[in-house]
Amino acid sequence: MAYSSNEVSPPRMQTATVTVGTKSSSINHALCGSTAGVMSKLLLQPLDLIRTRVQVQDGLKGTSSLPQYTGVRNAFLTIVKTEGAAGLYTGVLPNLVGSGVAWGTYFLIYSNLKIQIRKNLTAGKELSSRHHLLAGVLSGMGTVIITNPIWMVKTRLQLQSKFYSSANVRYNGMFDCVRRMVREEGLLTFYRGIGPSISLCSNHALQLAFYEKLRRWSIQRFHHNDKKDPSIRETLVMGAAAKSLSATITYPLYIVRSRLYQRAEKDPTNTAKKYKFSGFRDVLSRTFRHEGGLGFYKGLVPHLMKTAPSAALTFTFYEYLITLTDSKWT
């Protein structure tokens, strides 16, 4: 999730409502969402790793100890060949922790916000798209603030490659990474790149808007006579399509965030340099100067390859878990 973003709020959440006034209901949604997010993230970890490494490529040979991948297939084969199949799961622990915390936090805040909004509405009145949109954006912002440090650690670990340079292997796992980042860079480094992360809440706002529009179109086009809601298959397709559209529009922010997370390679001539980029403007100017406009869309293919299945998997796991726990939808 973006919270890494990179994820999709299950489509049914836009029309479903939580039993008002019950804390257990919100907690149940949080636990089910957290578990679903972890299961989905575990299955799609290799694509997330490939996406992260492709995102930080700056197009300049010799500026990184990581290889310059020519595409998704090349990245996959190169990682397996040089680092082994286990290399595809580099940084998986913080990724799972981050996803679980992000989804759990998102659903907890989202459910409680809808409860509070409903309390202020006239009895019997349903939440509008605007209310769902507001709850979604605020939930996203809260989740980003809580999980940004986890995504920072995840990105640092995923950018390590034992094969290409021993100097590039800086951390011996998640806890060593946290300890050394605090000691060498200070606590504030965990919130480096939070600006683009918060801006990525617009991704989820756009996704909601696209989904609602697609849903209305589907009902008018395919269910005008039977008055039925879209099927599960239609819902999954619409959710994936909405995410693909919103992700493509906001993808440059993912590039900026990933590059702000990146620590500088060791440079004997400038030992004081900690980060590869000094800030938001530096990422924009250097990326455009060296790579052009297309540089802001590096890794888009693996990103979409990951987020569309992620939407379907998270939705399926979430619905299954909700059914198991006998949660009631109204």
- Identify the CATH number of the domain defined by range 11-324: 1.50.40.10
- Per-residue HEC secondary structure of 139-152 comes to HHHHHHHHHHHHHH
Strand partners, 275: 263
Strand partners, 263: 275
What pLDDT is attached to residue 248? Answer: 92
Half-sphere exposure (CA, 13 Å, Cβ side) for 231?
Answer: 5
pLDDT tier, 13 (very low <50, low <70, confident <90, very high otherwise): very low
Helix (H) or strand (E) holding 129: helix 129-158
pLDDT tier, 169 (very low <50, low <70, confident <90, very high otherwise): low
Q: Using CA atoms, how far apart are residues 52 and 123, in angstroms rounded to an integer?
A: 47
Long-range contacts of 272-277 (CB under 8 A, 24+ apart): 274/184, 274/185, 275/192, 276/58
Task: Please check whether residue 48 is in contact with residue 55, taking contact to mean a CB–CB distance below 8 angstroms.
Answer: no
Q: Using CA atoms, how far apart are residues 18 and 112, in angstroms rounded to an integer?
A: 9
Rounding to the nearest 10 degrees, give the CA dihedral for residues 93, 94, 97, 100. Answer: -110
Q: Using CA atoms, how far apart are residues 98 and 253, in angstroms rounded to an integer?
A: 19
Helix (H, G, I), strand (E, B) or coil at 20: coil
| In the chain, where the domains are located | 11-324
* Residues 94-108 pLDDT 10s: 889 988 998 899 888
The pTM of this model reads 0.68
Would you say residue 125 has pLDDT above 50? yes
pLDDT tier, 168 (very low <50, low <70, confident <90, very high otherwise): low
